[in-house]
Structure 1
Amino acid sequence: MADDYRVIAIDLPNHGQSDTSDHELTMDEYADSVIDVMDNIGVDRAHMLGQHGGAYVAINLGIRYPDRVGKTVLSGAGRDGEMTQEKIDELINTPMTRDLPIDMEGEFLQKTWDVYRKMSATNTPPEVTFQPFLNSLSLRQRRYDLHYAVYRYSPDLSQFNKEALLLEAEEDIYAGDVMTLHQNIPGSIYKKVPNSGSWQFFEEPELNASIIRDFIN
């Protein structure tokens, strides 16, 4: 993509090399952080790509900052049913790999690897899974990350008036009901991405880039 576009990959607050917050951020605050980056680097308007929770940041931006957003690419952004408070509490209290204690025997490494393999497509080589696995170990998820904001966020899609490409990786265990989201965004385009799971941009980078490039053009 960088051959044709200026590509900017943002670590949201509480992720990667960005700062850690002292409280649970809302979806509005995550979206505002993207606008802050755009302002600081002098970008007035940009196409947005987000996967899983990042897709909801893109939706929020499209609703609240329509003049700053071009087209949107929403990957694995489906949901399975309504998010009741009971369901939200259940999800928030579900342990994640970051909650595994670092033990002398390294059992946490095996458990984390097992999770990351389940998130990969059946035929994904282990060396491809190793890339996000290594990122996870070096930059472990923190107490307040995007998951919580996503669980609590219910956008009014009637206010989302952006051209949207909805991607669903064939074996993405976190994609949810993407087809319903597609039906709720008039004019959106739906594409199934074969041979990939939750790590689709590691697993099929050229194919994803081709689909996205065609959509943007």
Structure 2
Amino acid sequence: MTAQRSPAIGRTIDAGGIETNYHETGSGFPVLLLHGSGVGVSGYANWRYTMPEIGKSFRAIAMDMVGFGYSACPTDASYSLDYWVDHVIRFLDAMGIEKTNLLGNSFGGGVALAVTARHPDRVSRTVLMGAVGTHFQIPPAFNAGHGYEPAVERMRKLLQNFTCAPENITDEAVQLRYETSMRPGYQATFEKLFPGTREQKMLAMITPDDQIRSIQSEVLLIHGREDRVVPTETSERLFRLIPRSELHMFGQCGHWSHLDQAPRFNRLVIDFFGR
């Protein structure tokens, strides 16, 4: 697999000056899928097994947020929650999407939460999976990618933090993310995405409680009981704050609910969006 032929490279659109890589499948009401922040992540790497299922009922779109995957990775940008929220809105505008459902994983859940709170007119329903976005006690695995130096076996070890089912860490998954992490300029940008301590990284993604309480749309919170990256207390706290929220906890499930409990996860999400 080479960067030029990587399946993670999809279509490109200019989203308000940001060259944005994305994948799309299906038709109907849109579902925008937002990826996590692990080393070598992309919309495709995060959602390649989920998109075909959601695409059977909806227009499923997975974008690479600025600084990640195969979208623009400017080294002089001031990366922040505001910047990523703005990129999502620019992407929706460029795609001609007035309103969408959101599905966000981890970091992408934090972005989806902020978009839902700040731009209620653009969001129908939201699913947050192992999401950040509020205060929590930080476990060691939260910052597992810090100081990463590209190597296939280092990538394999890193990905093992995200699942409690070792069979999910396939050679394909490892190679896919490793190749993305080797993209020219990627490492320099990655170190600038979340500078500082683990605590500063967590605080940088927080949406204030009053904004969270103001959310009036329906929100489904999904979390794996064995999540070692973002603790379950995060979704529990969001459940208490968001008025029209539901919380589903999967047992025998790590940070990647969409893989560890794939059939049940897909049905839960599709049913929620289909109401």
TM-score, normalized by length of structure 1?
0.80
Aligned residue number for residue 57 of structure 2:
4
Structure 1 unaligned segments of length 5 or more: list them. Answer: 103-107
TM-score, normalized by length of structure 2?
0.64
Residue 167 of structure 1 aligns to a residue whose secondary structure is strand
1:31 aligned onto 2:85: yes
What is the distance in 2 between the residues matched to 1:44 and 1:31?
A: 15
1:152 aligned onto 2:204: yes
Greater relative CO, 1 or 2 (CA 8 Å, sep 6+): 1
Aligned residue number for residue 182 of structure 1:
239
1:208 aligned onto 2:255: no
Q: 1:16 is matched with which residue: 64, 69, 74?
A: 69
> Alpha-carbon deviations, 1:180-199, whole Å to 9, x = none?
22111122100012333223
What is the distance in 1 between the residues matched to 2:98 and 2:109?
A: 20
Q: What is the 5 A alignment of 1:39-78?
A: 39-77=93-131
What is the distance in 2 between the residues matched to 1:44 and 1:79?
A: 24
Q: Give the superposed CA RMSD.
A: 2.7
Q: 2:169 is matched with which residue: 119, 124, 129?
A: 129
Structure 2 unaligned segments of length 5 or more: list them. Answer: 1-53, 182-186
> Alpha-carbon deviations, 1:148-200, whole Å to 9, x = none?
76531332312322211000023221232121221111221000123332232
What is the distance in 1 between the residues matched to 2:248 and 2:239?
A: 10
Partner amino acid for 1:99? Answer: G
What is the distance in 2 between the residues matched to 1:79 and 1:62?
A: 12
Instruction: Give the structure with the higher percent strand.
Output: 2
Alpha-carbon offset, residue 15 of structure 1: 0.9
Is the alpha carbon distance of 1:151 and 1:137 closer, same or farther for their aligned partners in structure 2, counting shifts above 3 Å?
Answer: farther
Q: 1:139 is matched with which residue: 172, 180, 184?
A: 180
Percentage of identical aligned residues: 21
Partner amino acid for 1:162? Answer: S
Runs ≥4 in structure 1, deviation > 6 angstroms? 146-149
